Structure 1
Amino acid sequence: MIKDEEMQLNTTVRRASMADYLAPGARSMKPSGIRRFFDLAAGRKDIITLGVGEPDFVTPWHVREACVYSLEMGKTQYTSNAGMPELREEIGQYLYNQFDVAYDPAQEILVTVGGSEAIDLALRALITPGDEILVPEPCYISYSPITSLSGGVPVGIETFAEDQFKLKAESLKAAITPRSKVLVVCYPSNPTGGIMTYEDWLPIAKVIEENDLIVISDEIYAELTYGSKHVSLASLPGMKDRTILVSGFSKAFAMTGWRMGYACAHPDIISAMLKIHQYTVMCAPIMGQVAALEALRNGLEEKDRMVEAYNQRRRLIVHGFREIGLECHEPQGAFYAFPSVKATGLSSEEFSTRLLNEASVAAVPGDVFGSGGEGHLRCSYATSVNQLTEAIDRIGKFVDKLRTG
């Protein structure tokens, strides 16, 4: 008996390296293409970065003060797993007032650690291994990796500059198979700045219903629209129960580091997401929840001022790209421009790398955002007018050098 056990031990296959202990999904996952260019630029004082999607504004003082005061009062405990009841109430009222969607704070709203956790929870709650998850591209980089890690199969749907990067019903139909289960959309779009109007959503909603899809609608940039009000897919007839609305405070309220987000959906879906949330993070930090509550109650005027500043910068950067000969569709939302660099003959990767090394401007190559992104750059205009003006000047000189060199 002892000899048999010794033989079993001796025949154990040893892993060649520590990497062999990793799950295949984690091992094959690629690092963030956005962060790669940000890290390349880190530490170089001469660099102007248009890479990371983060407001250059500081969280308003009264929001920070509310947090500090809560700490002084000893508010350092857990909250309800779903989030402070008064914060959920305020989120529900805010969504109804701003976007005409009504949710029950007690059963249909979950406060999360940023919008990113909400997306992760939604995908993990919905995916059965082998399910196909439809993702219009170019898109935010996390949707497909999280889908794969959860056992789903990401299916990209290409969108085009000539359509202002809107999702088209015929493209959605063409991508649907019997295994299709979830559609993930992000409008206003990261990285393109594209939006969807009510009229744009109507044929999409019809396809969703006809094919019995569930939608994860990432609306983190909902407040950042220029010239037209954001339309939530959940506000269309029949779409509320089919939609998981994801948003947060990072972009519109300049609260990226606070990591405060939320998800709104049918009670059955929120209940499933809440269980995963309970076993992973317990609850969002109480300090961030206090700050988010203050932002909703007293921070809307500051939010509007920041949006107006982005609008000024949006006009500046789009005009600048067109002046130096780079085609650029006009973004109607978020704080990104997505100019084409195809005329230079360089790929997105080549252009971005040389732009960083030769002109000291960091921008993200469009191909990291999936199909349709190749030949473009994502340039965040959430930075000062002076920095944007200098960046455009440097890019213009770089493009002239390419043409004459």
Structure 2
Amino acid sequence: MDFRRIEGLPPYVFTIIDSLKLEARRAGRDVVDLGFGNPDLPSPEIAVEKLAEAARNTRNHRYSSSRGIPNLRLAVANHYNRRFGVTLDPEREVLTTIGAKEGFSHLMWVLLQAGDAAIVPAPSYPIHIWGPYFAGADARQVPIGDGTDGAGYIDRVMEAWELGWPKPRVIVLSFPHNPTTSTVELEDLQRLVDWARERDVVLVHDLAYADMCFDGWEPPSLMQCEGGKEVGVELYSMTKSYSMAGWRVAFLVGRQDVIKALIQLKSYLDYGTFQPIQIAATVTLNEATEYPAELSGIYQSRRDALYDGLHRVGWDILKPKGTMFAWARIPEPYREMDSIEFARHLVTECDVAVSPGVGFGPGGEGYVRFALIENEQRISQAVRNIRRGLTRLVTG
């Protein structure tokens, strides 16, 4: 039988490193896992308490609504007003999704079909590349740079749209960016919005790391731009901001006709997230308002431990301004290796697991991604292991 929807999908390269990690641990080795971006910090206690309370109410065991319960959508609108100074209509401009990945995938279904095209970053979070593909469309990858060039990406996107044919219907953005940690300022998003208002194109901004930001820098929202709600939609997730990865609670906000279209599609596909989870998410958004900043401080300390430690052993990397990752070019003495070979070397010789850059598309080759999912002590241990195992590094 042919499985045409998944024909052409490459092997999920992250499983290669995961298998090596598990093999090493079975052999009794202590591998520091900085690979999969799975938050290790607990969800807010208030979320857990409210979930347990709501789950005991049998009325919450019935089907919910695929668009999200009204109080949760109102909480999202209030959160955007506090966080970004943006006014959203919870009835027409907010939709709950079962995590950002589900929301993005099904959003591509309503925006794209066979013969259409989307512009996506290269490298990119895998679903940003493959979401358009699953919708039968083409994903045209535009280089995002090495993590310092968000404004340049905006310029390259506009150029790619003008030169491309057929004209892409969708432009995918994600700042701060996974995996490169690239950032953008509000004035650059505004330039793109102004440009998009003159063209038949929808901007889709995945703001997964809205609250994971360092050194006083704050990520902008597409909704803060004048005209942003006219040309685009934005995904906001509780996964990273509130360390609620397994809860699968995210939101699509913005352009009303796009929100309405996805509501219609989802009415055929699902009944929404389990209602006690939605109730807990509502209370968390309303009452745990300081939690994202607390998490951000923890991740900044971890970033500093990794950045400073690698610098000391002779591996200079970019210092991220946001996300829970660090994007590192393979050090010069090892650049004869591709990213899978180098990641394998880190597991087998250094007892450190990272993600190979090629797992984020061809544009990620030559890099690896560190996830800040261990505490400072374990990160320091990883640096010591790297110093011991990367014998060709020039150390100070």
Instruction: Answer yes or no: same fold by TM over 0.5.
Output: yes
SS in structure 2 opposite 1:338? strand
Matched, 1:384 2:375: yes
**What's the offset of the Cα at 1:398?**
2.0
Could you say which residue in structure 2 is the equivalent of 1:3? none
Matched, 1:187 2:178: no
**Cα distance in 2, alignment partners of residues 167 and 279 from structure 1:** 40
Matched, 1:236 2:225: yes
SS in structure 1 opposite 2:390? helix
* Cα distance change on mapping 1:331 and 1:171 into 2, 3 Å: same
**Cα distance in 2, alignment partners of residues 337 and 220 from structure 1:** 16
Q: Which amino acid aligns with 2:47?
A: V
Could you say which residue in structure 2 is the equivalent of 1:81? 66
CA contact (8 A) 1:137 1:373 kept: yes
Q: Which amino acid aligns with 2:380?
A: T
SS in structure 2 opposite 1:394? helix
**What's the offset of the Cα at 1:165?**
5.2
Could you say which residue in structure 2 is the equivalent of 1:256? 245
**What's the offset of the Cα at 1:217?**
0.5
**Cα distance in 2, alignment partners of residues 224 and 245 from structure 1:** 16
Which of these residues, 148, 156, 173, is aligned with residue 171 of structure 1? 156
Could you say which residue in structure 1 is the equivalent of 2:110? 125
Could you say which residue in structure 2 is the equivalent of 1:199? 187
Matched, 1:58 2:42: yes
SS in structure 1 opposite 2:62? coil
**What's the offset of the Cα at 1:342?**
4.4
SS in structure 1 opposite 2:103? helix
CA displacement, residues 277-310 of structure 1 (integer Å, 9 cap, x when unaligned): 1211221211221221121122222322111111
**Cα distance in 1, alignment partners of residues 148 and 243 from structure 2:** 30
* Cα distance change on mapping 1:65 and 1:111 into 2, 3 Å: same
**Cα distance in 2, alignment partners of residues 280 and 39 from structure 1:** 34
1:31-180 to 2 correspondences below 5 Å: 31-42=11-22, 44=25, 46-74=30-58, 75-161=60-146, 163-164=148-149, 166-176=151-161, 177-179=164-166, 180=168
**What's the offset of the Cα at 1:112?**
1.1
1:285-304 to 2 correspondences below 5 Å: 285-304=274-293
SS in structure 1 opposite 2:250? strand
Q: How many residues are aligned here?
A: 384
**Cα distance in 1, alignment partners of residues 82 and 344 from structure 2:** 44
**Cα distance in 2, alignment partners of residues 371 and 135 from structure 1:** 13
CA contact (8 A) 1:32 1:141 kept: no
CA contact (8 A) 1:159 1:166 kept: no
**What's the offset of the Cα at 1:163?**
3.4
Which of these residues, 305, 323, 348, is aligned with residue 334 of structure 1? 323
**Cα distance in 1, alignment partners of residues 384 and 352 from structure 2:** 10
| Identity across the alignment (%) | 25
**Cα distance in 2, alignment partners of residues 98 and 190 from structure 1:** 21
**Cα distance in 2, alignment partners of residues 39 and 164 from structure 1:** 34
Matched, 1:347 2:338: yes
Which of these residues, 239, 262, 266, is aligned with residue 255 of structure 2? 266
CA displacement, residues 165-215 of structure 1 (integer Å, 9 cap, x when unaligned): 554343113321242110111111111222111133233334333443211
CA contact (8 A) 1:253 1:303 kept: yes
* Cα distance change on mapping 1:163 and 1:297 into 2, 3 Å: closer
SS in structure 1 opposite 2:61? coil
**Cα distance in 2, alignment partners of residues 199 and 72 from structure 1:** 48
SS in structure 2 opposite 1:130? coil
SS in structure 1 opposite 2:363? coil
* Cα distance change on mapping 1:183 and 1:55 into 2, 3 Å: same
* Cα distance change on mapping 1:162 and 1:94 into 2, 3 Å: closer
Of residues 365-374 and 131-140 in structure 1, the stretch that sits farther from structure 2 once superposed is: 365-374
SS in structure 2 opposite 1:311? helix
**Cα distance in 1, alignment partners of residues 193 and 245 from structure 2:** 31
**Cα distance in 2, alignment partners of residues 378 and 166 from structure 1:** 22
**Cα distance in 1, alignment partners of residues 98 and 89 from structure 2:** 20
**Cα distance in 2, alignment partners of residues 161 and 21 from structure 1:** 38
* Cα distance change on mapping 1:160 and 1:293 into 2, 3 Å: same
**What's the offset of the Cα at 1:371?**
4.3
Could you say which residue in structure 2 is the equivalent of 1:360? 351
Q: TM-score, normalised by structure 2?
A: 0.91
Q: Which amino acid aligns with 2:285?
A: L
CA contact (8 A) 1:122 1:216 kept: no
**Cα distance in 2, alignment partners of residues 354 and 190 from structure 1:** 23
SS in structure 2 opposite 1:111? strand
CA contact (8 A) 1:87 1:292 kept: yes
Q: Which amino acid aligns with 2:374?
A: T
**Cα distance in 1, alignment partners of residues 185 and 52 from structure 2:** 40
CA contact (8 A) 1:156 1:371 kept: no
* Cα distance change on mapping 1:110 and 1:175 into 2, 3 Å: same
**Cα distance in 2, alignment partners of residues 132 and 160 from structure 1:** 21
Which of 1 and 2 has greater Rg? 1
